[in-house]
Structure formats: C-alpha cells, structure tokens
Structure 1
Amino acid sequence: MAQQEAPVAYEKYYVPDQSPWPIVGAVALFLIAVGAGNFTIEMTKGKEGFGGYTLAAGLFLLMVMLVGWFKNQIDESMSGLYSAQLGRSYRQGMLWFIFSEVMFFAAFFGALFYARMIAIPWLGGASNNAMTNEVLWPGFEAMWPLVSTPGGIQTQAMGWMGLPAINTVILLISSVTLHYAHVGLEQAKRKQLTVMLGVTILLGCIFLGLQVQEYVHAYRDLGLTLQSGIYGNTFFLLTGFHGLHVTLGTIILIVLFFRVLKGHFTPKEHFAFQAGSWYWHFVDVVWVMLFFFVYIL
C-alpha cells in the first residue's frame, strides 16, 4: 500500500486593507515638485507668489503620510501579522530599492566622468578637434575642475581638506557606531544598542549641518554656484542628492531609535533595523566615492 504524502503547509501571506497613504504620498510629491519649481523661479526673478506655500504644503502632507504609513506598518508587525514569506518579500524589496539607488547615482557619476574624460578633452582639441575647439570656445584650456564658463563666470574649486574631510571621517565613524548598535541588538544588549544608535543619529545631523556650512562657503567665498558651468552643476547635483539621502537615512534611524525605546525588535526579529542599517552603509559608501572623485581627483 502506497504511503500517503503529508499535506504541504502553506504560510499565511498577510495582505493589508486598502490604504489612503499611496495617493496621499502622490499628492504630496506633486505639490513638492510644483512648489519647488515655482519657488525657484520666483526667487530667481525676485517675484512673490504661491510657490513657497505650495512647497510647504507638500512637505507637510508628506510628513503626515510618512507618520501614518509608518504607524500602520509598525502596528501590523507588532501584531504578528507578518510571516516568514512576507519577511523574504521585504528583504527582496529593500535590496531592489538599494539597487535602484545604485543606478541613480551611477547616472550622475556617469555624467561627471563623461564631462571630465570626454567632453572637456574634446573641447580642448583632443582627437584632432583643434578647429572645433577654436570655433566653439577659442582659447579653451582642457582642465578639471573647470573654473570658468563661456559666459566669463569665474569660480574656485572646492578643496578636499577642511569640511569635506571632516564629513568623511564623521560618516565613516557613523558606520562603525551603527554596526555596534546592530551587534548590541543581536546580543540583546539594549544599552549598547540605544547608545550606539543615538550616536549614529547625532553624527548624521552633524554631517548635514557641516554640509550646509560648506554650501554657504561655496556660494559666499568661492563663487561656486549652480551657474558655475559643468563643474558647479555636477558638484551640487552629486553632493546635494547625497545630502538628501543622508537626511532620509537620518529620519529612518530616528524612527528606529524611538522604536528601540519602546522595546521593539528582538535578536531574531529586527528586519526594519537591518534595512535601515543597509541603507545607511550604502549612503556612506556613496560618500566615499564622492569624496574621491568629486573633491580629490
């Protein structure tokens, strides 16, 4: 008589109810985009309008969405609604998200490399383009950083010493403190977890504050602005978007910090913390590349 096979056990996959937060987030991002665009135009032309109010409304709505959505996610997790299968889905989703961020920065680094390695040498007469050089930009010297524009705007390059070097050390230390916070969580050392996570958040805030000082120095003392040609464009594009990612990472760590204070996470169940640490370490790696290719080379 053939032996009867045991029934296959399927895990219950939690499907949440309909949520208002995706549409709220979409409206918030729309208001931010429209408001930021109009606010920039108004600032440039010295006019008053509703751009600033639209931008503020979008940012406020975005914060409401984040708080509401985070709360729903945390409540579902703490209620035991998530299964191992859903946990794997979250891990795959986070990895794909970080991969998309890698491609995001790869595009910007690609623009930087194209300008430095192809466009500028070509304008300087490389590859037998001497005539093109004289027609497009007479007297152009192929150099990087490019501190002058065809319109005659002059600027100074941002050196790697000073604030950039300090910020590099700060972010590297923050990766170490976050690692030890993670170790404390895995070893059920709550005090180590809390202290090291708090130090990481503090270092992230210091980094952002110093970056603001760096931008003030660039505009006020170096004449380095968004109007400073390809050098100014790539500088602010890369460092600005990285600063935005540090801001997001700091917000994530702050949310995790308050969850730790409330007793969330266990040595075996703490993917939210793990995902936040993945993101922070990724941001740190991007900064090291920025420091090397934007400031030093």
Structure 2
Amino acid sequence: MASWNSFPLEITYEVLGWAAFLSWSISFYPQVMLNFRRKSVVGLNFDFVVLNLTKHSSYLIYNACLYFSSAIQNQYYEKYGYEQMIPVAANDVAFSIHAVFLTAITLFQIVIYERGTQTVSKITIGIVSAVWFFAAVCVFIALPNQSWLWLISIFNSIQVFMTVIKYIPQAFMNFARKSTDGFSIGNILLDLSGGVASYGQMVVQSIDQDSWVNFYGNIGKTLLSLVSIFFDIIFICQHYILYPHKKAQVSSKLTEEGKEPLVKSSESDHPQSENV
C-alpha cells in the first residue's frame, strides 16, 4: 500500500478535504433555512432536488464501498497498482451521508410547503427511473464474477451524469423567470468553495505521489469538482450580474385561479399614490 511521502502535504490534504466537507455540507442549509423562513419552495426547481438526491445516493454508494470494503480496495490495487492510494477519504464518505440526508429534508419541504403549480417533470421522473433500473441490472451482471470495482464505478458514473444534468433545470428556470428569488445564493458560494477545495485536495495527493492516477482512478470526484465549479459560476453570474435588479418577490398566496404565485419585480416595490 502506498503511503505519504511528505507530512506537510498529508496535513494539507486533510485540511483541504475537511474544508471541502464543511463547505459542501453547510451549503445545504441556506436553502433549507430559506424554505423554512418563507414556508414556500416557489423558485426552487423540483427537478434539481430530485436529480440531486439520485446523484448523492449514487455517490454515497461509491464512496462507502471503496472506503470500507477491503475486497473492492484489492480490486482497485490490482487495476491501478499497489503503489497507489485509495482516492476516497473519510471526509468524502461523511459528506455523502450528510448530503443524502439534507437533500431528503429539502424534498420533504417540497411536499409540505407552498409550491404553487410547480411539479417534478415527467422527464426527470423518467430519467431517475431509468437510472435506477440500469443500476439494478448492473448489480446482477456483477454478481457472477464479483466485479465489485466495476459495479461501484457504474454508480460513480451515474453521479457524474446526474451532476452534469441536475443544475440545468434550475439554471433554465432562473433564466426564464429572470430572477434567482427562492434559490439561495449562499448555497452556491459554499458549493464553489467546496469544489475548489476538493480539486485542490486531489492535486496535493498527486504531487506527493508524483502520479496523476487519482484523477482518472476517481474520475467521478474530478468531474464533480469541475462541473460544480462551472455551474456555480453560472449561478453567481445570474444572481449578481444578469438579474441583480430584477429579483422577484414572490407572493405567498396563489391567485384565485390557482395559477403560479404573483411575481412582482423590484421596480414595483416602491408604493405609488392611489386615487381616492
């Protein structure tokens, strides 16, 4: 088994790892708190949450199996070499557990709070159903030869796929509404910090081992960081640059026709005199 060559780099690796864990973990709370304060989830895209739950569940399966299973670790060493280090750290497992729990809470908020006419799209339901059916088929394929590393790599690929597509509904919704109201920017800023720290952690490990195997040996973690950073930048541009003066104020009441809650632009926030 490989070991660290530099103690300072090992410490840096741990610090960056737990910094990513804290940033990513805390990033879930601004949205949960915003939903709780408003008693409404209008403005939060439901497809984003459902896809996110599938993504984090798949990532938890991958991280937990590779971190705790000696059989899977042996298959990893046989494929990439015994001089390599397992690319999953304790903070990765801790983050995944926490992410699944908080995403489930957000989904529960969608059920109990005001949501207007928003629903989970049939496309998302179809994607999620197809993904889990595909995963179940892969389990049966892996059983005869006990191809566990291959199997968890499937779950890692699933989380990469879900990471790529999960942000799209929210980004498009912000664009269509010309507003980021109801979607917490605090979540995005913390997510960006976590992505940068996670990528930095992998760079530190590669420098210490003088090998870049951990990047393609754990391609899921690599793409997770890069894709998250890419979309976080998009959301930050939407919030601070594209729609800074057009943040919508969403009424907590539905129209009499049961349509979407009324949305008033910030320009109408200033009261005007009325004729008596």
Q: Same fold (TM over 0.5)?
A: no
When the two structures are superposed, what TM-score results if normalisation uses the length of structure 2? 0.32
Q: Pick the structure with greater CA Rg.
A: 1
Q: Using structure 1 for the length normalisation, give the TM-score.
A: 0.30
